[in-house]
Amino acid sequence: MRSVWHPCTQMKHHETYPLVPIKKGEGVWLYDADGKRYLDAVSSWWVNLFGHNNPIIKDAIKTQLDQLEHVMLAGFTHEPVVELSEKLAQLTGLGHAFYASDGASATEIALKMSFHYWRNAGKSHKTKFISLQNSYHGETLGALGVTDVAIFKDTYAPLLTQSAQMPSPDFRLAEPGESAEDYAGRCADALEAYVRTHHAELAAFIIEPLVQCAAGMGMYHADYLRRACEICNEYDVHLIADEIAVGFGRTGTMFACEYAGVLPHFICLSKGITGGYLPLSAVLTTDDIYQAFYDDRTARGFLHSHSYTGNPLACSAALATLAIFETENVLENNKLKAQYLKNKMQALTHLPIKHMRYQGMIAAFDMEKHSSAFSSQCYAEALKQGLLLRPIGNTVYFMPPYTISESEIDWMVDATHRTLNTLEKVL
């Protein structure tokens, strides 16, 4: 066991909470080595869209495997990457896709591209970034520089590029009696005041559209995103939409920006892009930004690379994922599922909880009492019930695969109920 150093983990805690060895997955279920099953209510860190062992995505990868497993993307190209780029351009309205393998790398690429764009445009004083309070954009050094989660960031502070954090529109932070919309307006005013003063040095504002997932599913009114886009356009600051967690239908529309009717300068995508099958990320951007790099001089090009950039297997998984959206009326069906989940969750409202909230296929609530032990105890108790829940602080959330059935939703919420009842006695 010691040979594997697990992510986001104090390894010593596994003396108390043993690792769960998973053997196979099927639909929303994961099966451990003893055959015990767990409902994957968090889509394996928000990546899985259409269930484990999905036949369509699996077949697409197998077919691609017989053709070409990988080729470097510098100097070479292949059908899956061209087709995927064209599809993503149609879907997002941003016509140029740059690829990597995980979310944090996409953040790095968007930050570097924005900075480099301003340099190529003769505005090399535009070097600074802003993000939201409690934002999360990944954990490589550049991404941590715009992330605002103390536990991940503080240790590495001396290594990080400074950025400024704007008030978060997460409506849990509103004043009592203030509506989500009014609070969004107040936060947008604060953003505008900052940008008005500092725009000459600002390269970009990076934001998680509609839901700050790692902040504990902090949801906010779409007006904030609309205002942020207007402000960025007015003051010549790039808007980077980090849709790594919320893209591909999570918030109700294909992309959260679409929900708010905004077109950012960059969109970062990952996680659900391959349906949760293979690591892939992409940064999409505008013609204007692409053209600023297009030149005879090599140094004006975007000389960033990763060995597995645009991997054909991952691209074919992404194409199969997009095909499922096209053929199975996913977004419409999700509306019904989200409503069903919302109705079912009313059964939890008598518990000591607050801020019940929903956005597309994400639902969350917070425990009234804050206890530092809550998340690990809830996680462990839920596992006993056969449920993979991974609370963030005192936030319990559901972000299941879209293939979850109504009876599985019932089971998931009932198992959560049992878990919280048990914990209420213990905490």
CB of 313 to ligand PLP, least distance (A): 17
Q: Taking the complex as a whole, how short is the minimal distance between the CB of residue 160 and ligand PLP, in angstroms?
A: 16
- Closer residue to ligand PLP, CB minimum distance, 39 or 240: 240
* Of 43 and 394, CB closest to ligand PLP: 43
Shortest CB 145 distance to ligand PLP, Å: 13
Long-range contacts of 296-300 (CB under 8 A, 24+ apart): 300/120
Q: Nearest to residue 415, comparing CAs of 8, 38, 44?
A: 38
Q: Which is nearer to ligand PLP, 244 or 345 (CB)?
A: 244
CB of 411 to ligand PLP, least distance (A): 26
Cα 115 versus chain centre, distance: 23
- Nearest residue (CB) to ligand PLP, 25 versus 218: 218
- Site residues (vs ligand PLP, CB under 6 A): 102-104, 107, 136-138, 208, 213-214, 242, 244-245, 270
- Shortest distance in whole angstroms from residue 281 CB to ligand PLP: 7
Q: Closest separation between CB of residue 73 and ligand PLP, Å?
A: 19
Q: How far apart are CB 283 and ligand PLP at their closest, in Å? A: 12
Report yes or no: 32 and 23 within 8 Å, Cβ to Cβ. yes
Closest to ligand PLP by CB, 245 or 362: 245
- Residue (210 or 420) nearer to ligand PLP, CB: 210
Find, among 127, 117, 99, the residue nearest to 293 by Cα.
Answer: 117
Residue 196 CB, nearest distance to ligand PLP (Å)? 27
- What does the alpha-carbon distance between residue 261 and residue 275 come to, in Å, rounded to a whole number? 25
Shortest-Cβ-distance residue relative to ligand PLP: 103
Closest to ligand PLP by CB, 94 vs 213, is 213
**Residue with Cβ nearer ligand PLP (362 or 415):** 362
Q: Judge contact between 341 and 203, C-beta under 8 A.
A: no
Q: How remote is the C-alpha of 410 from its chain's centroid?
A: 25
Cβ-proximal residues to 216 (8 Å cutoff; 6+ apart), any chain: 364, 366, 392, 393, 394, 395, 397
